[in-house]
Amino acid sequence: MIVHRPPAGNRRPRQKDAAALFISRARADIFAGPDRVGMGTPMEGRMSNPLLADWTGPFEAPPFAEITAAHVPEALQKGMDDHWAEIEAIAANPAPPDFANTIEALERCGALFGRVASVFFNLVASLGTPELEEVERDFAPKLAQHGSRVALHEGLFARIAAVHAQRDSLDLAPDARRLLERRYEGFVRAGAKLEGAARARMAAIAERMAVLHTEFGQNVVHDEKEWQLVLAEGELDGLPDFLREAARQAATERGVEGYAITLARSSIEPFLTFSARRDLRRVAYEAWIARGEHDGPHDNRKLIPELLALRREQAALLGYASYVDYRLADTMAASEANVHRLTDEVWAAATRRAARERDRLTRLARAEGMNDKIAPWDWRFYAERVRQAEFAIDEAELKPYFVLENIQQAAFDTAHRLFGLDFLPRPDLQVYHPDVRAWEVRDAAGGHVGLFLADNTARPGKRSGAWMSSYRDQEALDRPIAPIIVNNNNFAAGTPTLLSYDDAETLFHEFGHALHGLLSRVRYPSQSGTSVLRDFVEFPSQIYEHWLAVPDTLRRYARHHETNEPLPEALLQRLLAARNFNQGFATVEYVASAKLDMALHTHPDPASLDVAAFERATLAAMGMPEEIGARHRPPHFQHLFAGAGYAAGYYAYLWAEVLDADGFGLFEAAGDAFDAATAARLRRILEAGDTRDPMELYIAFRGEAPRTEALLRHRGLLEMAEG
């Protein structure tokens, strides 16, 4: 599963999709997109294909240096062929169906396919050559066809259904019982009970959606690669040194003179925050929000109505009134009403808070001679000025203390204090790009836990955003298998690379996901790590963000990149005092996208949709402040349309924040952010994967059900909600 940081800039709010459908080991469901694959040269013959050969290097890690895009088609096809033969063998087994020869046999299926798919889809996310994208386009429908063949295999489902019917008499262990029930439900939700034309149509829908998902994601990447704002020395007014250096490096990477602002979030948001040139801020902002909606072959507006219509048809075939009903039936939220109850409550408080923030920005702008209304390209600029005035905090003053390597070490050392993990650098291991670093993870007793890879900096072709994924998942069905986990971020490279506080929080967030994968202790591969309900998967990542703000963490690791002096205590206290500054804005832009997601997926006739007009009407109806833009506009909303992972589910970050704000309260009640007993209870959630119902896991950790007011209090919105 690929899991994402949402909005960087949203302090708390970030895919296991389809080609792998019910293939426990095959991770061909990655929400991703692509730079370079390996450094080897193509070789003839299957035995010389490194994706098909045994991996005999340290920890059986992928031989990245030997892999090229040319190796992928043969390996994917061989993986699918082998997997299909295994499926056929299970279905044709003459023995009566039982848990071992059907459900556990399925867990053993697709080992080669899963291994190849994991490597390919991770590389196409983190890299991005035309060769990789061509393979992705070519195989998207083939992988969907394969997934549908498995999901709609009548003989296979008959065996699964027979075992499921006996479940009460099988005396299964709790993890096995949940595996059986989730397997059965997964096949039903994929259409296994459909007949005739409906089955064929379900398969056709899956194939077409796979093509559209791939095209959508590649279109966004295209726009991000193609655009740049090249600046001369005289156009850098207001830009601090760290941003000038990052823009200079970006220009060098892109082969242009001067300084370049790109559509990487780590470039565009600081520019909007610091540039004193309002005209240039507008150019940059309008390019940022226009990704995916340019006339021509990369226009995502023409893809969205078809995707929405296909999803609605898919849900209708399965008996659901809308795609929202279909998706939420398999979540903690359970219903559209519950999602609206949460988002409406937060929206009301956030818009009131945002109105107060806007008025404060307007007063400052007027005092400085800007008489126009605050526009979306103005908000970050004036918010930073207000923050400096009210909290004596300047991002340019803070950033020199947040060095990438130090914050990565802070995340490691926090995991050591909470869970007894050690991270040992392994520069000897092959990696897929020079930016990537590798560590071996060991536990307190010195035993091997897994490998952790960090790919932290932005580069042309790498998909934007931040995410965690795996090259291999933990399991123990036949032998212990250790995970290989990767974190991808898109920080602006520098010498050294300096982070904003939001960047640092993003790193902690993704590392929380990584710990969910690394600490997994399950038997069955399809229950491993982050293979949990979509609106629970963000809990481990979001609760981990809290440890960045622990004063002891900041005192130890926020150190000036030149002097190594710690963050001055007065500045540290001002930083903590300002953590809820601008939360009206951050919450509004996130919740607007979550509400827009729900509106899009409940539209009664999406095939006729004028996407831009619908977006405007929906935002107007919800009372969207004109000074704030939605975090994601539909043409570049990859969470929804580059895969189905967060479709009708973008609310999940907010839902998980209820859990994380409430859950961290247990550490606060203990009086110690590193309380050993509480950390042990949290670790049990990370170890459990999908072996238990997530609400049961949460209540076992917290002692009671979560409360929404914890979220409002954490964001500083409780007073606004009560008002």
Strands 422-425 vs 259-261: parallel, antiparallel or unpaired: unpaired
Which residues contact residue 343 at a Cβ distance below 8 angstroms, ignoring those fewer than 6 apart? 591, 594, 595, 598, 651, 654
Burial per residue of 76-86, b for 16 or more beta-carbon CB atoms within 10 angstroms, e otherwise: bebbbebbbeb
SS3 481: strand
| Identified catalytic residue from 245, 384, 475, 510 | 510
* Beta-bridge partner residues of 579: none
Cα dist from 344 to 337, 458, 601, 721, whole Å: 10, 35, 17, 10
Asked about 510 being catalytic, the answer comes back as yes
Cα dist from 396 to 41, 282, 346, 582, whole Å: 45, 22, 31, 17
SS3 238: coil
* Beta-bridge partner residues of 3: 468
Sign of the torsion formed by the C-alpha atoms of 115, 116, 121 and 122: positive
Strands 466-472 vs 448-457: parallel, antiparallel or unpaired: unpaired
Q: Name residue 513's amino acid.
A: H
Cα–Cα distance for residue pair 642/128, rounded to 1 Å:
15
Cα dist from 249 to 287, 490, 496, 504, whole Å: 20, 14, 12, 21
SS3 52: coil
> Residue 610: what are its φ and ψ, rounded to 5°?
-95, 105
Strands 3-5 vs 484-491: parallel, antiparallel or unpaired: unpaired
* Beta-bridge partner residues of 454: 437, 487
Please report which residue ranges of 227-264 form alpha helices under DSSP H: 241-254
Burial per residue of 565-581, b for 16 or more beta-carbon CB atoms within 10 angstroms, e otherwise: ebbeeebbebbeebbbb
Residue 253 burial class via C-beta count within 10 angstroms: exposed 0-12, middle 13-18, buried 19 and up: middle
Q: Which residues are catalytic?
A: 510
